[in-house]
Amino acid sequence: MVTDSRSPSRVRRPTLDDVARAAGVSYQTVSRVVNDQPSVAEATRERVLHAIKALDYRPNRAARSLATRRSNTIGIVGFDTRYFGPSQMLVNIEAALKREGYGLTFTSIDDGTVAALQRASSEIADQHLDGIVMIAPIAGADVESISDLFGATPFVMIDAEPGEAVHSVGIDQAHGVRLAVEHLVGLGHRHVCEISGPLRWNAARERHETLRSALEVAGLERGPSIEADWTAAGGFAAARRLLATRAPCTALVVGNDQMALGAIRALRDDGYRVPEDVSIVGFDDVPEAAFFDPPLTTVRQDFEAVGRQCAEYLTTLLKAPDTPRHRRVLFPTLVPRASTARPPEAA
């Protein structure tokens, strides 16, 4: 902040002129740096950026919009942010774009249908936005129609179906499942069952299909798979249905940590111990996973990295709209904890 010379007790927001004086450069040079124009020597740019930071200068977004003919605003279509994964994607994308100096506008979808996604796309396409981020984790989204709605506005999709010809960022769910299977097979498990997320979701379907194939590659029979709704209550109900089949099961791969929490409760209610009788692996590594009883072995997804990659990809598209379409892929990691152990017959 800067002291007003006409009233020393009064503090005003710093201006471009203040930054120019502090950096020893012209107003025009500061404007070029603020608007990220290339025609500034690197040493000069660093001096201006140092002055901006020292003065805590923040560009006036409205004035900047008039000067650059941009809104400096990014639209984000969120999806079922009641759940941990989508909500963490949204939070981290928001934080990364704010660090890049963008304002944000949100459209949230909670009913989980393709029709709702299409409606949200149409609504946000009518706004004057520099770019758009879509969290679109459900199968059947008409990417070509969405692209037509957005016209020349750059956009990046999160959790699009693998193989879609679109600018996208995603986590390799298949890699995460293979890590879980390798862990369980390494412990000696031969009877692996599953509680999947809703199979209309791309991530849930990819995990489910990969688990089937990974068990086959490992020479194991496919145990029962029960579909649930991402919630702890859904995991509890799915585990009850699984137990009712009386199928052999020494290990359970669960589509997210919340469902794993419900599954643990259902197993205990039926007299099973975790991990002595049944090992459990979740997905996400929610902050509470380390404090479950027992602490949960899970596949960690780096949602902060998703946010960073999304912001970086979108800002690249804003500067170079002809950037070829591709999918930026992030790889999850396995976090072993006390919910997995050797199966009873191998103990």
Q: What is the CATH number of the domain that holds 43?
A: 1.10.260.40
342 and 208 share one domain: yes
309 and 264 share one domain: no
248 and 200 share one domain: yes
152 and 192 share one domain: no
13 and 111 share one domain: no
Report if residue 307 sits inside a domain: yes
166 and 313 share one domain: yes
Query: Taking residues 316-342, what's their average pLDDT?
Result: 93
Please check the confidence at residue 226 and state whether its pLDDT lies above 80: yes
Count of C-beta atoms within a 10 Å radius of residue 140 = 11
120 and 23 share one domain: no
Express each pLDDT in 92-146 by its tens digit: 888 888 888 888 888 877 776 777 777 777 777 777 788 889 887 777 777 777 7
Please check the confidence at residue 43 and state whether its pLDDT lies above 60: yes
CA distance 232 to 5: 61
Report if residue 86 sits inside a domain: yes
Mean pLDDT of the chain: 86
CA distance 176 to 207: 8
Count of C-beta atoms within a 10 Å radius of residue 114 = 14
Report if residue 65 sits inside a domain: no
Q: State the Cα angle at 37 between 32 and 39, rounded to 5°.
A: 85
Q: Is the peptide bond before 137 cis (omega within 30 degrees of 0)?
A: no
Query: Taking residues 320-334, what's their average pLDDT?
Result: 92
Report if residue 130 sits inside a domain: yes
Q: What is the CATH number of the domain that holds 105?
A: 3.40.50.2300
Q: Please name the amino acid found at residue 305.
A: A
Report if residue 47 sits inside a domain: yes
Q: How many CA atoms lie within 13 A of 167 on its CB side?
A: 25
**Residues spanned by the domain of 12:** 2-59
236 and 291 share one domain: yes
- Specify the pTM: 0.77
Please check the confidence at residue 9 and state whether its pLDDT lies above 90: no
297 and 314 share one domain: no
41 and 138 share one domain: no
202 and 161 share one domain: no
Q: Which helix (H) or strand (E) holds 334?
A: strand 333-335
For the chain, the distance separating the N- and C-terminal CA atoms, rounded to the nearest angstrom, is: 66
Q: CB–CB of 44/19 below 8 Å?
A: no
Report if residue 81 sits inside a domain: yes
226 and 339 share one domain: yes
Express each pLDDT in 136-195 by its tens digit: 777 777 777 777 777 778 889 988 887 777 899 999 999 999 999 999 999 999 999 999
> Looking at residue 325, what is its pLDDT?
87
> Looking at residue 65, what is its pLDDT?
47
> Looking at residue 80, what is its pLDDT?
77
Report if residue 68 sits inside a domain: no
Query: What's the structural domain count of the chain?
Result: 3
Report if residue 256 sits inside a domain: yes
Q: CB–CB of 55/18 below 8 Å?
A: yes
Q: List alpha helices for the chain, DSSP H.
A: 16-23, 27-34, 42-55, 61-68, 84-99, 114-125, 143-150, 173-187, 202-217, 232-245, 257-269, 303-319
